[in-house]
Amino acid sequence: MALVLFFEKPGCLNNTRQKALLAAAGHTVQARNLLTEKWTVGRLRRFFGDLPVAQWFNLGSPRIRGGEVDYEHLGEGEALKLMLADPLLIRRPLMEVDGKYRVGFDPDAVEAWIGLKRAAAGQDLESCSRRHEAEPCQVEETEA
């Protein structure tokens, strides 16, 4: 089984479910805070592979929902610059296993990559379950 570096937004219910599925499949999950991680352009870029730039973004971000960021028309450099300044724009989770990188949690893709119990089939494990137009999801405070 794999050691998964899992970059999440603490308090995100979907990230919690995703980590539980990985653990149930026998993987060891090391969770890290995506929002406080020290990102560089090169390090962050690895996670997106050959995906189109528009698929790099967290569509639940308040700045995207509010129309402030036109993610569909950004170039790679501009997108990365925005994400470094505002990590809430980054699609979650970011995962690293043995020097291979992924963004998002498509159960079929994770199954093909490292293996995942089929309990995830049919579940939406990326859309924010707390999504309300008037109330953007906030980072929950946790004690150290």
User: What is the β-pairing status of strands 28-33 and 3-8?
Assistant: parallel
Alpha-carbon distance of 62 to 67, in angstroms, equals 8
What's the topology of domain 3-120?
A: Glutaredoxin (3.40.30)
- Examine residue 93 and say whether the peptide bond preceding it is cis (omega within 30 degrees of 0): yes
> pLDDT tens digits for 75-115?
999 999 999 999 999 999 999 999 999 999 999 999 999 99
Please state the domain extents for the chain.
3-120
Catalytic residues: 12
**pLDDT over 70 at 131, yes or no:** no
Per-residue model confidence (pLDDT) at position 98: 97
Alpha-carbon distance of 102 to 47, in angstroms, equals 5
> pLDDT tens digits for 68-81?
999 999 999 999 99
**pLDDT over 70 at 133, yes or no:** no
Helix (H) / strand (E) element for 96: namely strand 94-97
